Amino acid sequence: MEHPEYKKIRASRTLSRPAPYWAPDAIIEAGFDECGYGSIAGPVVGAAVIWPKDTSYFTAEERRVASRIRDSKKVPKRIRGLLAQFIKEHAVDWTIIARTSIDVDNTNVLVARDACFAEALERLCPKPGRLLVDGDKWDDRTGIEYHLVNKGDDKYMSIACASIIGKVWRDEYMKELAKECPDYNWGVNKGYCTRDHLEAMETHGLTKYHRMTWGPCQRILSSKRF
């Protein structure tokens, strides 16, 4: 049975935009990045962005804003949301896909992440001819040219864009979950293995959003106190 949260975490993408500034034989690149890979609660998220190759039509202000795009961890929190909105408005196409903690437990986080990437690829329009994937792992079954790029969100615009929109979306989602489960401070720690999160798990036990197969959660379960 599908997890009750699953329908909520399918993010809509923009309508695909025409790309007249690309030659018909140009290779369309899409950048992929994930968020929530190492958290112990909440979904793992995969984002994909096709960024324009030619941005000469951008206004001076748009070029200034675009110059702020980089690895989401290096973007000040106060402007992350603004950049995410800018990316969504100016990308050729983008999509965000998530898999729940149950999906992660039923397979593993890498399989769940790759499933996000695969579905994100299916939804992109136009279809890319080259994939740029952040990191060093990708279970490729697409037949499309791909490149694994270590710290790719610092090297390629499309990956940096995916990094930002994925993180902003997941952060907002964890804030919503925090309203349902206020004891875990997810609005701040975003489900990662922080001291306050671990202390809350010790005191209040686990929720349906925790990754039950992960070490910190297993230790709580094995204590048999909850």
pLDDT, average across residues 209-216: 96
Distance CA 53, CA 104 (A): 35
Report residue 153's pLDDT band, with 50, 70 and 90 as the boundaries.
Answer: confident
Q: Residue 17's pLDDT is what?
A: 45
Q: What's the rounded Cα separation, in Å, for the pair 91 and 221?
A: 44
Q: Give the per-residue pLDDT at 142.
A: 83
pLDDT tens string 74-126:
999 889 999 999 999 999 999 999 999 999 999 999 999 999 999 999 999 99
- Domain-by-domain residue ranges, the chain? 6-180
Q: Which residue has the tokens 């079954």?
A: 141
pTM, two decimal places = 0.88
pLDDT at 22: 53
Q: Are strands 93-99 and 44-50 parallel, antiparallel or unpaired?
A: antiparallel
* Contact by Cβ (8 Å): 134, 32: yes
Q: Report the pLDDT averaged over residues 45-56.
A: 93
Which CATH topology does 6-180 take? Nucleotidyltransferase; domain 5 (3.30.420)
The whole-number pLDDT of residue 206 equals: 96
Tell me how far CA of residue 210 lies from CA of 2, 71, 145, 169, 218, in angstroms: 17, 26, 35, 19, 10
- How large is the average pLDDT for residues 3-26? 48
Query: CA nearest 45: which of 133, 136, 113, 92?
Result: 113
Mean pLDDT throughout 194-218? 96
pLDDT of 226: 52
Q: List the structure tokens of 173.
A: 């989602």
The stretch 13-42 carries a mean pLDDT of 74
| Per-residue pLDDT at 24 | 54
| Structural tokens at position 210 | 């925790």
